[in-house]
């Protein structure tokens, strides 16, 4: 019973779809793992928003094979990535590198958040200032104000 349940659960587990064909897979599982990791960071330039690990495009396949070849030849992950970016530019990386040209991309959101925070703080402080200048929110009504309020309320009842 338990085995059946386990089998059922396993059958229902969503498996991340990958385009890697059986004939591409390396014999060494450690190397294959690294290849998969690198492939997930490399953009398929034909479909653009898929990694080469997900894409069925012929170029993606060629690049997957190339990545595995470089790894088998003894390249480090970084060496493989720079091999590809030397040919296709930074655009091929799904995670843009942190450098001068991508500075705004990386820190832009934080700058905008900081500006928003400063503007909000100034606004809140300004509002408080107005309230204080007017004698505070809870200042009692003057005699004149009370009389006008009573008149208005009486008018409403009538």
Partner 1 sequence: MRRLIYLLPLLLFVGVGVAFLRGFDRDPRDIPSALIDKPAPEFSLPPLPGYKEGLSNATLKGDVTLVNVFASWCIPCKAEHPIITRLAREQGVTVRGINHKDKAEDAIAWLNRNGDPYASIGVDLDGRVSIDWGVYGVPETFLLDRQGRIRFKHVGPLTPQVVEEQILPMVKHLRSAS
Query: By the criterion CB under 8 A, which residues form the site for partner 1?
Result: 45-46, 48, 58-59, 62-63, 66, 85-91
CB 20, CB 36: distance < 8 Å: yes
Between residues 33 and 89, which has the closer beta carbon with respect to partner 1?
Answer: 89
Smallest gap, in angstroms, from Cβ of residue 92 to partner 1? 9
Tell me how far apart the alpha carbons of residues 84 and 97 are, in angstroms, rounded to a whole number: 14
Smallest gap, in angstroms, from Cβ of residue 109 to partner 1? 15
Matching residue, tokens 């897979």: 25
Between residues 102 and 151, which has the closer beta carbon with respect to partner 1?
Answer: 102
The C-alpha torsion from 134 through 139 and 140 to 145, rounded to 10°, is 20
Between residues 5 and 73, which has the closer beta carbon with respect to partner 1?
Answer: 73
């Amino acid at each position: 019973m338990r085995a059946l349940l386990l089998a059922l659960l396993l059958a229902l587990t969503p498996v991340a779809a990958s385009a890697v064909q059986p004939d591409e897979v390396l014999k060494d599982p450690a190397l294959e793992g690294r290849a998969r990791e690198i492939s997930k960071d490399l953009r398929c330039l034909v479909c653009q928003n898929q990694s080469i690990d997900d894409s069925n495009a012929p170029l993606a396949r060629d690049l997957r094979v190339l990545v595995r070849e470089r790894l088998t030849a003894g390249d480090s992950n970084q060496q493989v990535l720079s091999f590809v970016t030397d040919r296709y530019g930074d655009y091929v990386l799904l995670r843009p590198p942190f450098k001068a040209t991508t500075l705004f991309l990386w820190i832009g959101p934080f700058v905008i958040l900081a500006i928003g925070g400063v503007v909000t703080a100034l606004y809140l402080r300004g509002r408080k200032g107005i309230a204080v200048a007017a004698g505070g929110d809870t200042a009692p009504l003057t005699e004149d104000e009370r009389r006008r309020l009573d008149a208005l309320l009486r008018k409403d009842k009538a």
